[in-house]
Amino acid sequence: MAQGCLYSSDNLEMELKGEEYFKCLEAHSCFQYCTRDGGMLTCKMHSLVHDCVQSLSPYDLMMRFESVKQLTLNLSSWTEEVKVVGTHHLVMMIAQGAGFPMDISGAEKLRTLVAVTQGCLITSQALSNLFKQSKHLRLLDLSLTSGWHNCFGPSGQGNILDEIPVEICRLINLRYLSLAGSKVLKILPETLCDLHNLQSLDLTGCSSLRKLPDGMGKLMNLRYFYTWCCSSITSYPKGISCLTSL
């Protein structure tokens, strides 16, 4: 959904169309395994299927960095080595106690960025640099992706993210944004409401968040809005009633 790959000619909801595609893949044994635990679905794609998809889309490269500790990353040197135009999808496994990279060189064509971390320092300047550089992002996940369900209680350790820079408005293609687990984040900028293509906003576990932007009503395409464990929010802006797609 975030990458705009779901198209329906029969006016089906995107979620239903996505489920239809998934069941088709499952029926044709495209997954190595697929297990259901209550409402949670876990699956793994066969490596052969992955290689086939990669061959059909050779320029849509996904990169994964393990145990990131440095303050700068250079994707360009990697992409030159594997002879592709640019990295579109990036997963960073940030080492515990390390900071979010201040500069990600070669990130101009990123469409997906997922930071897997726990207790990571994410500075406003680092995000500002990212927003100015990666204008094509469609999915940005800065949540506590690793073990997030254990970290929303009083003793849990969330990401150290206390400010979202106003430059977030530059991500005009963004459809999915997760800030879950950012326990010290207190306010969101009004410029967040300029992301008119945003479909999912996850603020789960942002326990210090006191106020939502007044212009929330401008997010007309918003379909999912999560505020579980946001105990400091005492009221919602009036414009939220305009979000008829929720």
In a domain, 51, yes or no: yes
Q: What pLDDT does residue 153 have?
A: 46
In a domain, 1, yes or no: no
Number of compact structural domains in the chain: 2
Q: Which residues of the chain have pLDDT under 50?
A: 67, 78-85, 146-155
- Considering the entire predicted model, what is its pTM? 0.75
pLDDT tens track for 7-43: 655 555 777 777 777 888 878 788 888 887 766 678 8
| Boundaries of domain holding 22 | 11-56
Q: What residue type is assigned to position 228 of the chain? A: W
d(CA 51, CA 165): 38
In a domain, 226, yes or no: yes
d(CA 161, CA 155): 17
Same domain, 120 and 203: yes
In a domain, 6, yes or no: no
Same domain, 173 and 236: yes
Q: What pLDDT does residue 226 have?
A: 93
198-202, long-range: CB < 8 A, 24+ apart: 198/174, 198/222, 199/1, 199/2, 199/175, 199/223, 199/224, 200/1, 200/2, 200/175, 200/176, 200/224, 200/225, 201/177, 201/225, 201/226, 202/143, 202/177, 202/178, 202/226
Q: What pLDDT does residue 132 have?
A: 93
